[in-house]
Amino acid sequence: MIFFEVKKKDEKSRARLGLMQTAHGQVHTPAYLPIGTKGSVKSVTAEELKFWGAEMILANTYHLWLRPGDALIHRAGGLHKFIGWDGPIFTDSGGFQVFSLGEKRKEGEHNLVSADPVPVLKEISEAGVEFRNELDGSSHILSPEVSIQIQSNLGSDIALVLDDVPGLPAGKNRIKKSLELTLRWAARAKTHFEKIKDNSINPNQHLFGIVQGGDSEELRQKSARELQKIGFEGYAIGGLAVGENAETMYKVLGFTIPDLEEEKPRHLLGVGYPEQILRAVSLGVDTFDCVLPTRNGRHGQFFINRKSGGYEVIDITKKQFEEDFTPADNTCSCYGCTHHNRAYIRHLFQAKEPLGIRLATMHNLRFYLDFMEKIRRAIEFDSLAELMENYKI
């Protein structure tokens, strides 16, 4: 079975239609992956995601490792069975959560956030990332091998190697040292992956390398070149959407993607807004994950199609919608837009009724999944340039 096949290329850009074949089904690309951080895409069911057109979801290695534990999930038959999702699953390495959350608080600082397992970063070394888990005070080292073992126990369809994630802007020396460490970790991860894959709960799991290098063309090229020597079935592009502006991100994608093999899939981590996704597709990216549909939905923000083209984001909690009896989005056929109006949904948020969050999340996920379908159709019918013009790109 061919893992990934490019079905059609856009005539005026690097965009392409692709088909990914996994042990748990197909993924038509370009695709957006709803984020199920802890094994659940917040406030929606697997059945609903399937109905809206989601083919693959992303789960978080770090959070599932600490709660309920990858060993328990393995005993349950793997993550697919544990969460009731029979489609493909993509898991990250867990490194980004340790780095991004841990950087907010160093050892000795008070945890002012929720009861979620938030790490206190202690040390990054050749061995891996050492941190303290505030759930129970225990210390852990997330190494390249441990990350691969966790993902093997989860049985995801696509696993990622552990990487060091420098935020941008950053000095070239910091980025260079980070890249060198990431490449050494990648080689170790691949070795461990090959060692254990035949005994994995999903022996058909695929391993992606992560391209790092900050905003340096030289370092990004080095990263791509060295990862190809190690040998991976696809690539995630990391170290973007971490503080840089959008134009810097596009510039980095522009000089990174041509150095990756044409026949392998490319995933852009943590991106993004619709116009960012559309621009990245035109540069050759195949899949995306992003918290915006669910996170923004929890705060009452709706992604709305404009009849004139493009989209806007409205905050339905604003007073201006108090007596607005129109659907949140006249162009949408989701449950909230066909059964309720803006005034009612605003009332739900004001009254702190959970249904408000659910309706917003449902709508936003439907918006993103429909948006990706628009992109795939545009590539199929050679009208991507027109779609980009509608979104003022």
CA distance 26 to 17: 13
CA distance 216 to 208: 21
Give the residue numbers marked as catalytic. Answer: 92, 289
